[in-house]
Amino acid sequence: MDRSLFTIAAPITPKGIGAVAGIRISGFDALEIILSTISLPKEKLQPGKLIFTSFLQEGVPIDEITVCYRKAPHSFTGEDTVEIFCHGGWMMVNILMDQLLEKGALYAQPGEFSKRAMENGKLDLIKLEGIQQIVQARTKQEALLAGNNLFGNFQIQIQTISERILEVKSFIEAQISFPMDMENETFPLLEKLIHIQENLRCLLQQASQSDQFRKGYQTLIIGKPNVGKSSLFNALLGWDRMLVSPYPSTTHDYVMELIDLHGFPVYLVDSAGYIENGKEIDALFNETLPGKVQQSFLSLFVLDAFSYQSKDLELIRQYPNARKIIVINKVDLTKEIPIKAISKDFPEIPILVVSTVTKEGLYDLMEEVYNQIKLVNPEKMDYYLNERHHFALKKCYENFEKVIKNIREGYYQDMIASDIEMASQWLEELLGYRMQDAAYQKIFDTFCIGK
């Protein structure tokens, strides 16, 4: 069945309780369908105007709604589109949807509105992915970064690089075709190539930062039983997520929650207490711990200031390569804080002194976590790139490296021309000019209904 011949409809607001809910209808029959369900004549539905009216079921008004008609091609999808806003909650939306389907609309599939928008030239691939990133944003900063992708700056940057590549490609091709004519040309080929390579390198750096941002900054809290890991977890989270008790081994699992740290998504993970020769369940936990530390961005090693013994540092020594912070907790209980001895053993590791009871030091601890994040994000993120962008950029860069190496080593022309061609094809792929239908479909499949 060719769905593009049909008019589609779907809720565009999430399932749940809210003052207002929206439905979008798009396609050739959108206007006719809506006119058969409202108490307004056609001439009242002026394009682009929000009109107040009633929704009818068998001629009886069942809800007050607003309707906005957009005439093709001046709509999100480029087709005739009607958006209606009824009262919220999910039930009225369902009743209205039933009516629209009965009048001939098909229930839109995930991403189907966006797909039509692309097919009608209303959206390009990068913008489409930007919308998806906004919808899925976990922090304000993420939404703002994703928002940048709507306004074409990234496309302009890629197009500029593409044009520069085309310029050097034309030069090399001319050298192949008309070697005599080109002998006296003073084209700074290598200089231009290096400049393009530098642009690509900066974008790759942005792509790596974006990858880490998307993954989030997993921050694992570890230490012996009863040092106050769960108390710290709750305190940093701002609510009592974990059970806290004076009995050792209250926590027996990894528990993760998301926090927004100056716009960065930080996944805080509480864990069980580390016991070296404990019961079976402790052994089980110990087995999983190295993997967990390795996949975490950062580990907070918690010590108890009151019961501190130098052998508590053993656990820290087991992970020489992990990014870490030492947290000395319960400083409300003692004035003798072993900070000097510890910093002598671990001069490189930041040490923070806190109390989850008085809350002292907690702000500084979060600022130190933020410092660690900044260390891996040295540059301002201008673009928020996804895995697809990263892959295409990497491929383009690799081909480019080959080009420069071959030119430096004196290989010339045919081989170089073909690598340059590959590099420019990867940029076209990035902009979506060369994508196969299946690859497109994979992107739409990740969309929610109504988008």
Ligand X SMILES: Nc1nc2c(ncn2[C@@H]2O[C@H](COP(=O)(O)OP(=O)(O)O)[C@@H](O)[C@H]2O)c(=O)[nH]1
Residue 89 interacts with, from Mg ion, ligand X, none (CB under 5-8 Å by kind): none
Among 162, 251, 296, 299, binds Mg ion (CB under 5 A): 251
Residue nearest to ligand X (CB): 228
Asked whether 189 and 413 are in contact (CB, 8 A), the reply is: no
What angle, rounded to 10 degrees, do the helices at 153-177 and 189-215 form?
A: 150
Question: CB 218 → ligand X: shortest distance, Å?
Answer: 18
- Determine if 291 is a binding residue for ligand X (CB under 6 A): no
Among 228, 361, 432, 450, binds ligand X (CB under 6 A): 228
Instruction: Enumerate residues 349-408 that contact ligand X by CB under 6 A.
Output: 355-357
Which span sits near ligand X by CB under 6 A: 164-172, 174-182, 226-234, 311-319?
226-234
Rank residues 117 and 227 by Cβ distance to ligand X and give the closer one: 227
Question: CB 341 → ligand X: shortest distance, Å?
Answer: 20
The alpha-helical segments, DSSP class H, found in 120-228 are 125-135, 140-148, 153-177, 179-182, 189-215
Instruction: Enumerate residues 311-340 that contact ligand X by CB under 6 A.
Output: 329-330, 332-333
Q: Which of 105, 124, 103 is nearest to 115 (CA)?
A: 124
- Determine if 226 is a binding residue for ligand X (CB under 6 A): yes
Residue 99 interacts with, from Mg ion, ligand X, none (CB under 5-8 Å by kind): none
Give 174: exposed, middle or buried? Use CB within 10 Å, 0-12, 13-18, 19+: middle
Give the whole-angstrom CA distance, residue 308 versus residue 295.
28
Strands 255-261 and 106-107: unpaired
Give 13: exposed, middle or buried? Use CB within 10 Å, 0-12, 13-18, 19+: middle
Give the whole-angstrom CA distance, residue 443 versus residue 441.
5
- At 99, is the secondary structure helix, strand, or coil? helix
Residue at token pair 């009109």:
51
Instruction: Enumerate residues 308-337 that contact Mg ion by CB under 5 A.
Output: none
Instruction: Enumerate residues 19-78 that contact ligand X by CB under 6 A.
Output: none
- At 343, is the secondary structure helix, strand, or coil? helix
Instruction: Enumerate residues 261-280 that contact ligand X by CB under 6 A.
Output: 273
* DSSP assignment of 362-418: HHHHHHHHHHHHHHH--S-------HHHHHHHHHHHHHHHHHHHHHHTT--THHHHH
Question: CB 327 → ligand X: shortest distance, Å?
Answer: 10
Among 225, 263, 338, 350, binds ligand X (CB under 6 A): 225
Rank residues 306 and 411 by Cβ distance to ligand X and give the closer one: 306
Question: CB 223 → ligand X: shortest distance, Å?
Answer: 6
Provide the 8-state DSSP code for 218. Answer: E
- Determine if 255 is a binding residue for ligand X (CB under 6 A): no
- Determine if 230 is a binding residue for Mg ion (CB under 5 A): yes
- Determine if 229 is a binding residue for ligand X (CB under 6 A): yes
Residue 245 interacts with, from Mg ion, ligand X, none (CB under 5-8 Å by kind): ligand X
- Determine if 99 is a binding residue for ligand X (CB under 6 A): no
Binding interface with ligand X (CB under 6 A)? 225-231, 244-246, 250-251, 273, 329-330, 332-333, 355-357
Binding interface with Mg ion (CB under 5 A)? 229-230, 250-251
